[in-house]
Structures are given as structure tokens and as C-alpha cells.
Structure 1
Amino acid sequence: MQSVFREAGREGFRVAFPQSIGLVPWALVTGVAMISAGFTPLQAMGMNVLVYAGVAQLGTLPLIVAGAPLWLIVLTALVLNLRFLIFSAAIAQGFRGMGAGLRLVCSYLLIDGIFAACLEKMLTQDDRQWRLGFYLTPSLWSWLLWQIFALVGVLAAGSIPKNWSLEFMATIALMVIMVPMAKMRPMIVAAAVGGGLALLLRGMPLRLGVIVAILGGIIAGILAEQWQMKRKPA
């Protein structure tokens, strides 16, 4: 049983490693941004461990700095992470036969790159220990990578040169992860509508345009999927 777990872990690490490298600039940017927002190092790392969602962290920091109401900060974080409802539903069968506690741990570790790398094998392999090793090994590696480089960003916030353009590097890293996932027409429609709305509504107060854009993209993706299914021959 242990050999199966280790074998699957090595396979999962091999598959997910290239995408995990994209976490490095994101973690650095997040660490620097939290310090720039006025967090102490302890507060920054506490948020980093509890939230473990770079997009939600970066998306709510301007609201925290602006003194926005708590309900808006929480709502923004929830909306920014709505994609994980879809990810969780899609990969749920990969955790069949596992206990509730283990599922909770795995849900905390779920991120975009892990979903993209592990989905297919998680749904097609029958051995529970194999699936667990395949998922947990790259997930724990990614979590550790994120915490280490976020800490580097926190501690080096005042000394990282601005001309390094870490924000741009982080955006490119996220695109590298997300573009391979946009293979189906509904996903492309959702991305196009969400991106377009984000640009059109960028002037809304308290960054509410981001929330509207995310909801619009999700609705557009669902409608596109329904339309595509209706066009399929019976």
C-alpha cells in the first residue's frame, strides 16, 4: 500500500511540477502586497495560511486598505473563489471512498494548477491509495512552495526592485496555468465575457466591477454550455 502511495506521489509531482513553478511570482507578489497594505509579517503569514488563495488575497487587499465594510470584503473573496465550486464538483469523484476529514484537508489544498494537473487521473484511477498519493504529494509541495515564497516576499518587501515587474510575472504565470484549461467553448465564452466586463466596469467604486464581471462570466459559461448541449444530435 505504501509503495503504491509513493509511486503515485512521484507521478503526481512529475505532472504538477511545471505548473507549480508559476506559484513563485504569485507568492512573492502576494507577500509584498500584504506588507504594502500595512500588515505585520505575522498578520501577513496568518492570512496566507488561512486563506491560501492568491487571487482572493490580492483582490481583497485594496478593500481592506480602503476601509471597506467587512461584508463587502467577505463577498469579494467568495466571488473571486467561485471557480472552486466548479473545480470541487468536477473532481469530487476522485475522492470516493475517503473520509470527511481527509476530504476537508484535500479541499483546502485544491488550487488551479493542482486541479488542471490531477483531474483526469483522479477520475480514471480505481485505487484509492494511488489517487490519494497522486493528489496529496503535489498539493503539499505547492502549499509549501507558496508559503516559503510568500514569506520571502514579506521579509523582502522593502528591498525587491520595482523594475522586476513581479505583478506582470504573476499574471503571465496564471495565464500559463489557465490557458490549457480553456479548451471547451463554454470556458472560452466565460473568459471572454468576464474579461470584457472587467474592462468595461473597472471604474465602479470599491472594485464592484470585478464581482459583476465574475458573475457575468459564470452565467455566460453556463448559458453557452446549455446552448452547446442543445445543438448536439440526439
Structure 2
Amino acid sequence: MSAPRPHFTLSGLAQGARAALPAFPGFIVFSMAFGTAAAQKGLSLGEALGLSAFVYAGASQMVGLEVWQRVWSPTTILTIMTVTAVVNARMILLGATLQPWLKNEPKARSALNLFLVTEAGWLIGTRYYNEGGRNTGMLLGLGTTLWLLWLVSTLIGYFAGALVPEPRRFGLDLVMPIFFSVMLVPLWKGARPALPWLVAGLVSLIVHALVPGYFFIIAGALAGVIAGMLLE
């Protein structure tokens, strides 16, 4: 029996909001850590919330803080743009995997869905899709819920900054990697399909050790894609 065609319903929004619940702990802790770090870096509340609202990428936001300047020059602007683009380049691959699901959606709704995509949301949404779900409202409800949570938690973290002087000292930077690892477990389909994961991870580690900067993210992603193509 063939899977239903992609469709959008309001009930899917509520389903997506419920599906987002497992991601709440990781999102809350990570975004609070960013809010705390942003406050300690000297960003205003508007700047911190603006980064969470429009960049909406924890790794990029944290990396961006490392090169943040109080007085901007064309060089520093180009640097932070480049760093953000490199770190977020992985979203190109995530977006491509959603094409079969969103290809018949109105362009405005597709754009909103793709803006709201995160790794956690992609993992939850992909699992739903692989199990036969086709309601695009679920993806939108999932993404919107996590985005709102991200903003609220950034706000809380910003004002709590004085209470946690060193977020990394408490291992807050490990919450999201651990969450991603746990979420990958349901996607396990055997050793052979997992080989691209292994290749991507090894290439990322090697490039990270040999090449300064953030090129290891792109190198790992491309290596995983190539490995997957060769296996097929």
C-alpha cells in the first residue's frame, strides 16, 4: 500500500508541537548557554535575541561570539559572514533531503519550513516521514515550537548570565551533541548504511586536525555524501 501524498492540515501543527517535546532539554540548555555567553560578551539583549531569531543556529551563534567585535569593520563583517556560512553549509544537505516532502508546498510555506529546520527538527521530522507520515503541518509545527523555545530560553539565559560565569565548565556545550547521538539511534538500519556516517566523522576529525578554521564541516559532509553514492 503506497504512502499518502504530502498534505497540510492544522492538526499537523499540533502533532508537530507534541513531537518537539523530546528536543526541549537540549534546546533549553543550549540556547540558555548562548544567552549567557552573549551577555558576558557584552551584547545587548536585542543583539542576542536577534541572533537567536534570525541566525537560529546554535553552533554558528557560538562561533560568531568568538569573532564578535564592538566596533565593526568590513573585514570583521566578512569574517563572521564566512564563518556562519561555512558552519551552516550542512543545512544545504538537510534541505535537499526534504525536497520530496515539500516540493508541492506553496513557496512561502516551504521557505518558512526550511528556515525553521534544525538538526534536531530534521531528525524528528525524518523519522516521522520514514514511518509514512506526510503531513507538512507536522514539520511546520515542530519547527515553530522549537524556534519559540529557542528565543524564550535565550532570553532566560541572558538574564541568568551572572549566575553561570563559565558555561563550558559545566559541560553545557555537550548537551546538543549527546542529544543528536541519541536521536540517531532510531535511524540505524545496519552497518552498511551507516558507513557514510563513519566516513564523514573520520574525515571531519582528520581535516579538523590538519586545517585551521571550519572547513572540516564541509569536508566531512562531502565525504559522507560521496561514500553514500559509492555504496549505492
User: TM-score, normalised on structure 2?
Assistant: 0.80
1:135 is aligned to 2:163? no
Work out which structure has the larger RCO, using CA pairs closer than 8 Å and 6 or more positions apart in sequence.
2
The alignment covers a number of residue pairs equal to 215
1:153 is aligned to 2:161? no
Matched-pair contact (CA < 8 Å) for 1:29–1:170: no
Shift of 1:174: 4.4
1:173 is aligned to 2:179? yes
In 2: Cα distance, 1:151 partner to 1:178 partner: 29
**CA 1:133–1:215: 2 relative to 1, 3 Å:** closer
1:215 is aligned to 2:221? no
Q: Which residue of 2 aligns with 1:81?
A: 88
Pick one of 190, 207, 226 that aligns with 1:197. Answer: 207
Q: Which residue of 2 aligns with 1:62?
A: 66
Matched-pair contact (CA < 8 Å) for 1:23–1:142: yes
**CA 1:199–1:29: 2 relative to 1, 3 Å:** farther
In 1: Cα distance, 2:87 partner to 2:17 partner: 27
Q: Which residue of 2 aligns with 1:118?
A: 125
Q: Which residue of 2 aligns with 1:26?
A: 30
RMSD, aligned CA: 2.6
Q: Which residue of 1 aligns with 2:9?
A: 5
User: TM-score, normalised on structure 1?
Assistant: 0.79
Q: Which amino acid aligns with 2:199?
A: V
Q: Which residue of 1 aligns with 2:19?
A: 15
Q: 1:83-111, CA deviations, whole angstroms, 9 ceiling, x for partnerless residues?
A: 11111110122123321111111111111
Q: Which runs of 5+ in 2 are unaligned?
A: 1-7
Q: Which residue of 2 aligns with 1:227?
A: 230
In 2: Cα distance, 1:181 partner to 1:58 partner: 28
In 1: Cα distance, 2:105 partner to 2:90 partner: 23
